[in-house]
Amino acid sequence: MQLVLILVVAIWVIGWLMRAPVRLRLTMIGILWLGLVLEHLVLPDGHPLRMATGGNARGWLVVGGVAAVILAYRLGLDRLRARAAAPDATPPSGPFRPAELERYARHITLREIGGMGQRRLKEARVLVIGAGGLGSPALLYLAAAGVGTITVVDDDSVEASNLQRQIIHPDASLGLSKAESAAAAMRALNPFVTVDPVVARLTADNAEALFAGQDLILDGSDNFDTRYLANEVAVRLGTPLLAAAITQWEGQISLYDPARGAPCYACIFPDRPTPGTVPTCAEAGVAAPLPGVLGSLMALEAVKEITGAGESLRGRLMIFDGLYAENRMIRIARRQDCPVCGHVHSA
């Protein structure tokens, strides 16, 4: 036995010194093993050579079997690693490419989302009104989360005063369309999502065509005309509307969905403020991270709504006070006399 071990070590060391491939060294050791087994099968019992190498072939057969299992495991592992490292040249057989599975692994691990939830995100169509303070984080997180098709509607251009809080736009985008700038950022973040930038203001003429076929509308606009218009069209089409608003240090967010029992925006805010009574961000100011908080909440609620995870803000209004770090939750209900959704029968 000692002689055999010495021969094995000698083969390995000499091969290493001669820089012989590992495969060749293993082949030489395999030939030695095969010779030992044949020796025990051919030579008679009690032969000195058989006695010097263990006496019978059983021990060597066991050694060979163990070595074969280890070698097969290593070869299989190397093959898997090579396949993982190789570029994905073949079309995916399922809904996700290998690169997408790795990208969304933390979502798929979540019990409340899992593979089916991630597939719902991939198949979802979401429209976001505004690529400003609220739209910036919402759009980035929707793209990162893997929402399949994202439409962004905005007719403004990027200005220097936007950059304090509208984090989707880099300094290099000054003067460019916000919709196009946001689309470029989303595509750079996640090439597996489809982004449709619409450089236009939401109007009564285009709103219904833009909303048609969408699974969810996110309203991050900064004026009441757009908010009431988005609500009316969403109610008419039966599409859930996730809307948020901010000013100075405070923000609010809710999911308006009368088709499923929740109130619409007009149920809670039936009268639009008189022009000039509610100051704009330009007039009153706004803390830079505040739209990030509310915009991120919009994206989070969108992911929950699409995947069915947790409890949504349907029928609840969240009010966030950033100055005093307080949250308040208010239960809200439909108004039967609401001129916008009073005729809608909930599912």
Q: What percent of the chain has pLDDT over 90?
A: 66
Sequence ranges of the domains in the chain: 2-85, 98-331
Rounded to two decimals, the pTM is 0.72
- Going by the DSSP 8-state scheme, the letter that residue 171 receives in this structure is G
21-35, 230-244, 269-283, range with greatest mean pLDDT: 230-244
The predicted structure's pLDDT at residue 92: 45
pLDDT at 159 over 90: yes
Least confident of 29-38, 59-68, 83-92, 205-214: 83-92
- Asked whether the predicted pLDDT for residue 190 surpasses 60, the reply is yes
Cβ-in-10-Å burial (0-12, 13-18, 19+) of 234 comes to: buried
Please state whether beta strands 316-321 and 326-331 pair in parallel, antiparallel, or not at all (unpaired).
antiparallel
Model confidence pLDDT, tens digit, residues 22-77: 677 677 777 776 776 676 677 777 777 667 666 676 776 777 777 777 777 777 77
- Residue written as token pair 């984090």: 167
281 flagged as catalytic: yes
Helix residue spans in 95-219 (DSSP H): 98-103, 105-109, 114-123, 135-145, 178-189, 207-211
- Quote the mean pLDDT of the chain: 87
DSSP state of 196: E
Residue 90 has what pLDDT?
Answer: 43
Please, what sign has the CA dihedral across residues 66, 72, 75, 80? negative
Q: Which CATH class is domain 98-331?
A: alpha beta
Highest mean pLDDT among 4-8, 29-33, 241-245: 241-245
Phi then psi dihedrals of residue 321, to 5 deg: -110, 105
The reported pLDDT for the residue numbered 339 is 94
By the 8 A CB rule, do 103 and 190 touch?
yes
Least confident of 35-49, 135-149, 154-168: 35-49
Burial of 263 (0-12, 13-18, 19+ CB in 10 A): buried
The structure tokens listed for 100 are 């997408």
* pLDDT (0 to 100) of residue 135: 97
pLDDT at 91 over 50: no
Catalytic residue among 267, 281, 338, 341: 281
